[in-house]
Amino acid sequence: MTQHDSPAPGSDGESVRPDGALPVVAMDGPSGTGKSTVSRRLALRLGIRYLDTGAMYRAATLVVLQRGIDLADAAALAEAVAQSQIEISTDPHKAAVTLDGTPVDSEIRSGPVTAAVSAVSAVPAIRAQLVRAQRELIGAGGIVVEGRDIGSVVWPSAVPKIYLTASAAVRAQRRAGELGSGSDLAAVAAVADDIERRDRLDSTRAHSPLAMVADAIEFDTTELDIDEVVNRLVDIVQAGVGHA
């Protein structure tokens, strides 16, 4: 698994700490909190790279669905993912995920992938593969990394570690909007049920569960719009890396 279309660390506009190190910003939290939009915009504002680790797990899930592998067969799932070539861009201007050379940006957001991704993500051997790839992509830093175990497992030395939250109702409404369901009450209720299911699975899995680490900054986005969230996070990140 390799990155591509990524600006070089230390490029113009990139946030650099006084000691010359480049920041690694960990952005964790459950679905519907605005992680993806906020993380991408934060990376753009800071002039650094962006990595959506969830997209990597979704691509792995697409692999096993395309091959018709039983989700209960952990060994077969891990072998299929290991045999596949998943590439992901870390350029915040251009999200791109390819599977064996084929763009799959739309496919990984499909209903079947969303329904199966928690099960695939819970396989320890798959998590080990993808965590290694994520650490390689992070490299020397200069990146905002979003996911569910960034501050706890992937990059525990990240500064700062942000944990985004929002009320259950707002999370469901936001997610339904992303899916094009708008304010349809039945659709929002269905999304709320799916979010609750994924939260339960992700929080209770044995390996790398969704959890807020002790030194993370909890950030509730319920009453804030995207611009307000990003503005506040820019201040937090710059304070953490020595900027005024």
pLDDT tens digits, one per residue of 11-60: 444 555 545 568 999 999 988 888 999 999 999 999 999 999 999 999 99
Q: Which fold has domain 2-10+22-235?
A: Rossmann fold (3.40.50)
Mean pLDDT for 65-75 is 97
Instruction: Look at the block and give the residue holding tokens 């659709």.
Output: 187
Give me the pLDDT at residue 133, please: 97
Strands 24-28 and 143-147: parallel
pLDDT tens digits, one per residue of 187-203: 778 777 777 887 777 77
**Please, what is the average pLDDT of the chain?**
87
Least confident of 15-19, 84-88, 179-183, 187-191: 15-19
Domain segments of the chain as ranges: 2-10+22-235
Q: Flag whether pLDDT at 209 surpasses 90.
A: no
